Structure 1
Amino acid sequence: MTASRILVTLTLLAALATVTACGRKAGLDTPYEAAVQARKDAQKAEQPVPPEPEKPVEDKKFILDPLI
């Protein structure tokens, strides 16, 4: 391998490691949960409160759901 090819490979590996380490280590929030949390945060900070979020509708069962 040439020196430039080794340098490119190392650079790509470093970029991959950097991007992989990004993010939050927690469960994902649904849009409803995020809206409720935003309202709580706004009330604590005494800022204008966003509108009340609507509760999510119960999902209908689908024949292929057990496969997921």
Structure 2
Amino acid sequence: MYYHGIPQEDYDSAELRLLNYMDITTDPSGDVVTIEERIEDIKQRYGENSYQAQEALKMAEMVRRKSI
């Protein structure tokens, strides 16, 4: 099974790209933010070198590379 928010190259679809884009540009309150703001929020909540921050950085790179 494939989940959103997990950077993966093996599976791709327009729906998954859209879902990941919305996730990386929406803060926990549901407000629209930049990718950079979202990553900073994740780093503040979980730590600069946390698994969550590292995965968010990978996801941001994938979102930037792939068009919706």
Greater helix proportion: 2
| CA radius of gyration, larger in | 1
Name which structure has the greater RCO, CA cutoff 8 Å, separation 6+.
2
| TM-score (normalised: structure 2) | 0.26
